[in-house]
A and B are shown apart, each in its own frame.
Chain A
Amino acid sequence: MSEPIVKVENLHKAYGSNQVLKGVSLEVAEGEVLVIIGPSGTGKSTMLRCINLLSRPDEGRIWVAGDEITAPDANVNHIRERVGMVFQDFNLFSHLNALQNVTIALTKVKKMSKPAARELAMFELERVGLVDKADHYPAQLSGGQKQRVAIARALGMEPLVMLFDEPTSALDPELIGEVLEVMKKLALEGMTMLVVTHEMGFAREVSTRMIFMENGYIAEEGPTKQLFYNPQHHRTREFLGKITELYGSKEEEGA
C-alpha cells in the first residue's frame, strides 16, 4: 500500500482546561473521501485545523505526504500550500473580486507571474462554474457562490488534500446543492478530501470512509456502507438516527 496522504497519530489538543482532542489517530490514503461526523464540540473542526497547523497540536504527530508537519523545523507555510482548506463561513477576502481571491496567493505565495496566475485562476473558476462572476466582489455573490469561489481559491494552490470544515452549514438550504455538486465533482476527479459535514446524502453518495467522533475520540470508523447500515457503536446509531430525522426527506431524494 502506498504512503498515506495524511497520517495522524495520537493527536491531543486543549483550549485552556477544555480537552478537545484526547488521542486521535487516523490515516487517509490518496483519493479517499473521508467524512467526519459527530455532535458539535467533539473536536472535528479542531482536528482539521491541526492538519494545516492553524491549531498547534499539544501532543501527537501529523504527516502530510510523508513529511512530518509537527516536526520542530517543519516549514509551516510550505505545508499549508499543500493542504487546501474550505471554511464554514467562506472567509473570502472582502476587498478582492472572485478572480483576485484566487490569484492573490498564487502571485504572493507561489510567486507566479500575473498572467499565469490569472490563467490558472480562470481555470479553477471554470471548475466551480463561476467564470462569469470573476469580476464580482464577495458582497455581490450568494453564499453558495462564495463557497464555490473559496473552493476554487484552495484548488488554485494545487493541494494534495482538501479539508472541508462544515462547508454548507452557513448556507441557505437551496444553496447547499451547488456546493455539494462541486465537491462531488472533485471527489470523482480523485481529490483526497476530509469533510466535516452533516450532509448525510453527500456522505453516503460520495465518501469512501466515515469517522464518528465523540468527546475528543474517534468512536467508530469504517467504510461508509458499514457506518450507515450496520453501525457498531450505539452512539453512532443514535446520532445517525437523529441526523436522518432532521435531514430525512432530502436523503430520500439523494438515495
Chain B
Amino acid sequence: MERLPDILNSIPYLLQGAALTVAVAFIALTAGLVIGLPLALMRVYGNKLAAGFAAAYSTVLRGLPSLVVLFILFYGIPPLIGLRDLSAFWAGCIALGVCSSAYQMELLRGAIQSVGSGQMMAARAMGMTHGQAVIHIILPQALRAAIPSWSNEAAVVMKDSSLVYAVGLAELLRRSQQVAARTHQFFIVYFLCGIIYFVLTFSTNRGLDLLENKLRLPSVLEEH
C-alpha cells in the first residue's frame, strides 16, 4: 500500500482521461443520431432505393466489430486518400459514431413504426405535407418512445469508447493501464477505472430517465 499516494496523485490524470472518454462518446452519439435519424426516415418512408440503402448500411455495420471499423478508418483509409494522418481522437469519434448510427437507425425505426398509422393519416387529412406530418406529428411521439432504448445505446457507446485506446488515444482505459504499469497496483487502478466508467454510464442513464419523465405525456390517472 506504500504506492497508495502515487495512485491518489494520479487520479486527476485518470479524470482527464475520463473527460476524453466523455468527449468521444458524446461526439459519437451525436454523430450517430445525426446519421441514424435520416436513415431511419429513409428506411420507413423512402422509396425502394432509399429504404434498401438504409437497410444495407445497417446490416453491414452491425455485422462488423467497432474495433475493425476503427482500424480501417485510422490505419486503412488515410493513406488511400492521401491524408497524412487522422488524429486518434477524431478517428475514434467517427468510427464509433458510424457504428452507433446503424444501431440508432434501428431503434429509431422501431420507434417511428410504433406511432399508429392513423396519426399520419389524420395529419395528411388536415392538409399537412408528408414532411410537416413527420416533423410535427410523428417525430415528437417517436423520439419520446425512443428514449429508453437510446439510453441503452448511450451506455454502450460510453463503454465502447474504451476501444479508442487501441489507436493510442490517452483516454480513461489507456491512462489506467499506464498508471497500473507504473504502480503495479493493477487491482486498485483497474477497479478505480471501472468505478469511473460506471459513474459515467449510470449518470448518463439517470439523466435520460429524468428527460423521459419530463417529456412523459399525462396519462388517464393523473389530473392535469
Contacts and interface: CB of A to CB of B under 8 A. Distances in A.
B137 A78 contact: no
Given A95-B141, A139-B218, 8 more contacts: A77-B129, A80-B127, A87-B118, A87-B125, A94-B119, A104-B136, A136-B224, A137-B217
Nearest to B143: A95
B144 interface: yes
Contacts of B119: 91, 93-94
Contacts of A89: 118
Interface of A: 52, 54, 77-78, 80-81, 83, 85, 87, 89, 91-95, 104-105, 108-109, 135-137, 139-140, 150, 153-154, 157
Given A104-B136, A135-B224, A137-B217, A94 B128 contact: no
B121 interface: yes
Contacts of B125: 52, 54, 80, 83, 85, 87, 154
A104 B136 CA distance: 8
14 contacts: A52-B125, A54-B121, A77-B129, A81-B126, A83-B125, A94-B141, A95-B137, A95-B144, A104-B126, A105-B128, A108-B132, A109-B127, A137-B218, A137-B224
A254 B141 CA distance: 41
- B interface, by DSSP: helix, strand, loop or mixed? helix
B77 interface: no
B81 interface: no
Contacts of A157: 126-127
A30 to B, nearest CB: 21
Give 10 closest A-B pairs by Cβ, nearest first.
Answer: A91-B122, A81-B127, A91-B118, A105-B126, A85-B125, A80-B127, A109-B127, A77-B127, A95-B140, A137-B218
Contacts of B129: 77
Contacts of B124: 54, 80
Nearest to A88: B118
Contacts of A54: 121, 124-125
B123 interface: yes
Contact of B128 (A92, A108, A139, A154): A108
A140 B222 CA distance: 8
Contacts, number: 76
Interface in B153-208: none
A105 B133 CA distance: 10
Interface in B59-97: none
A77 B128 contact: yes
A104 B224 CA distance: 21
A52 B125 CA distance: 7
Which residue of A77, A95, A136 has the most chain B CB atoms within 10 A of its CB atom? A95
Nearest to B133: A108
A9 B137 CA distance: 34
Contacts of A80: 124-127
Contact of B122 (A81, A87, A95, A108): A87
Nearest to A84: B125
Interface string B205-223: 0000000000001111010
Which residue of B127, B136, B220 has the most chain A CB atoms within 10 A of its CB atom? B127
Contacts of A105: 123, 126-128
A54 B128 CA distance: 12
Given A139-B218, A140-B224, A93 B123 contact: yes
Contacts of B126: 80-81, 104-105, 109, 153-154, 157
Contact of B121 (A91, A94, A109, A137): A91
Contacts of B128: 77, 105, 108-109
B25 to A, nearest CB: 29
Nearest to A78: B127
